[in-house]
Chain A
Amino acid sequence: MVRSMIILAQVGGSTLETLLTKLLDGMALGAIYTLMALGFVIIYKSTQVLTFAHGSVAAVGAYLVAYFVTIINWPGRYLTSLPVTLSFVISAIVGVAAAAVVGIVIERMFIRPMVGQPLFSIVMITLGIDIILRTLLGDFVGQGSQLDIGAPWGIFSVTKINGVIIPHSYVATIVAAAAAVIVLALFFRSRTGTAMRASAFDQEAAMAQGISAGRIFALAWAIGAALAAVGGIFGSVPPRGFGVNQTTPFFALRAFPAIIIGGLDSIIGAVVGGFTIGIAEVMAGHYLSQFTDTLGIGFNNIVPYLVMMGFLLVKPYGLFGTKEIRRV
């Protein structure tokens, strides 16, 4: 956080270069929100549950990657000639896969037995899971401290084009989110993806086609958790963040306005909402910083919520959300 301020400080004023630099910054932050929001939406669409464990699942994924990278240097210790970035990507893939397993375990152990119970109870259970995971995270990382996740794309590695500063790490974040969106789009065309869409639309009718509701639930949690983990990793990688700490889960909460803007049950909405919020937050941080005296420090953190409230007044179901949310 402190050092990302250094980068922020490198550019000032309100030139076009600054605008573009900030736009890229906002898109990179928006990419993280998008990843989080996609996870929320997929779990919500498939199971009607709005999970509050998303942030801590994201942090668990990031923690695992940080553990691989910093503590056991895996797989780099065995493959000494492996470039740092590639070694990180491999760790990240394993961390994301592990997060998917965590998602499946949560679904199996805590959500599945609750099927048919009031939604409110299930949502409260996800809140409980969040607290458990967060506490565990605190125990492993240490209260108030953080676990370094390395700097695969460099902390200050930037490319400058016509005065526009392009941090490599941000480019990697945006590329990862874009890749996730493409993979998801392809997945939803596959046999299993089509089954998942069908089940989200009308669970009983999907069951009548032989689609197992339980399997779809587990899959949704796996995908949702994996997406959260990718978001958590890029939220921890410098200069966006500096390792995994107790604030890592907050990326999910900060992505909340994104799903409200986009519509709880809309994939496209998650993408549009995610980028909108990210860009709005960064722009507000920069262009409103001169009003800090009146608005107070950290006003940019409130901006996503203000944007969300504005949207809700005009479009209560979000930009792409369906009016009638179907229930089982």
Chain B
Amino acid sequence: MLEVANLEVVYNDVILVLSGISLKVEDGEIVALLGGNGAGKTTTVRAITGLLDVHEGDITKGKIEFKGESIEKMRPSAIVKSGITQVMEGRRIFAEMSVDDNLRTGAYTNKDKASVLAAFDRVMELFPVLKDRRKSTAGYLSGGEQQMLAMGRALMASPQLLILDEPSLGLAPMLVQQIRDIIVGINEQGISVLLIEQNAHMALSIANRGYIMETGKMVMDGAAQKLLGDEDVQEFYLGLHGEEGERKSFRDVKHYKRRKRWLS
């Protein structure tokens, strides 16, 4: 469904941030994209959704295909229309507007009233808390409610692929659980999900497959179960063994592993 191949992204003509990453999301999958701060996860999302321009970023190499069609030169509005929406990092709800109006902007590309109403009903079913807050100013919602509003807004366009950029950021563990369950619910409606997270545990627990990024490169990928069981992943992303004092870069380990593979 979504295929990113060898993607290279440069900011301000000089800052190379993605150096040839590849990833795939198949129909109906939940795919986790993991990585620490500054790895290039958000940049990847911007590249897919056509928002690099706003940040003076350019795709200098590689391609992005959605449903077999090249989208790397498309405008953000065309990409939304083709079926990809996103929940941006930091939620980015329209804080001064009502909950309803936030949801309406999500349906901006859809002029068919009946299908907008249907999408609205689905959103209300997924996020019952929003039902009582429809007229409230979005900025007054709690953090968890704002995240739900952001997700609801992204669903109003009835996407086939939903990209979530760190939805668990800044939320209490209870809420993270809830968001996780909702993502599963969304996926069960047949929507493919690209889930970007630093919270590897949460993401891998519901994903089919996962990718791990570090400073603009993919350093590992595979089935979510396999990643969850991987010692290095456990050490660096799940915090099972890691001791604060001696956190090596994951890349060092990877390098070591690569060498091992060459030898065998």
**Interface, chain A (partner B; CB < 8 A):** 116, 191, 194-195, 197-198, 201-212, 328
Contacts and interface: CB of A to CB of B under 8 A. Distances in A.
Contact of B94 (A202, A212, A328): A202
Contacts, number: 72
B54 A198 contact: no
Interface stretch (B75-83, B121-129, B169-177, B201-209): B75-83
6 contacts: A194-B101, A207-B51, A207-B76, A207-B77, A208-B80, A208-B88
Interface stretch (B104-112, B191-199, B224-232, B248-256): B104-112
Nearest to A116: B56
Interface in B78-137: 79-81, 85-86, 88, 92-97, 101-102, 104-106, 108-109
B81 A210 contact: yes
B129 to A, nearest CB: 21
A328 B97 CA distance: 19
Contacts of A197: 94, 96-97, 101
Contacts of B80: 208-210
A201 B101 CA distance: 13
Nearest to B50: A207
Contacts of B79: 210
B51 A204 contact: yes
Given A116-B56, A195-B108, A203-B54, A208 B92 contact: yes
A1 B19 CA distance: 68
B75 A209 contact: no
Contacts of B94: 197-198, 201-202, 205-206
B92 A194 contact: no
Contacts of A209: 80, 85, 105-106, 108-109, 153, 157
B49 interface: yes
Contact of A195 (B92, B93, B105, B157): B105
Contacts of B77: 207, 210-212
Given A205-B92, A208-B86, A210-B79, 20 more contacts: A116-B56, A191-B108, A194-B101, A194-B105, A197-B94, A197-B101, A198-B101, A198-B105, A201-B96, A203-B54, A204-B54, A205-B88, A205-B94, A207-B77, A209-B85, A209-B105, A209-B108, A210-B76, A210-B157, A328-B54
Interface string B49-83: 11100101000000000000000000111011100
Given A194-B104, A195-B105, A198-B105, A208 B97 contact: no
Contacts of B109: 209-210
Contact of A194 (B86, B93, B97, B157): B97
B97 A201 contact: yes
A213 to B, nearest CB: 8
Q: Shortest 8 CB-CB distances between A and B: which pairs?
A: A210-B80, A210-B109, A205-B92, A210-B77, A198-B105, A207-B76, A209-B105, A198-B94
Contacts of A207: 50-51, 54, 76-77
Given A207-B51, A210-B80, A201 B95 contact: yes
Nearest to B116: A191
Contacts of A211: 77, 105, 108
Nearest to B55: A204
A191 B76 CA distance: 18
A208 B85 contact: yes
Contacts of B75: 212
Contacts of B76: 207-208, 210, 212
Contacts of A201: 94-97
B188 to A, nearest CB: 24
The listed residue with most A CB atoms (<10 A of its CB), out of B76, B86, B109, is B76
Contacts of B104: 191, 194
A204 B97 contact: no
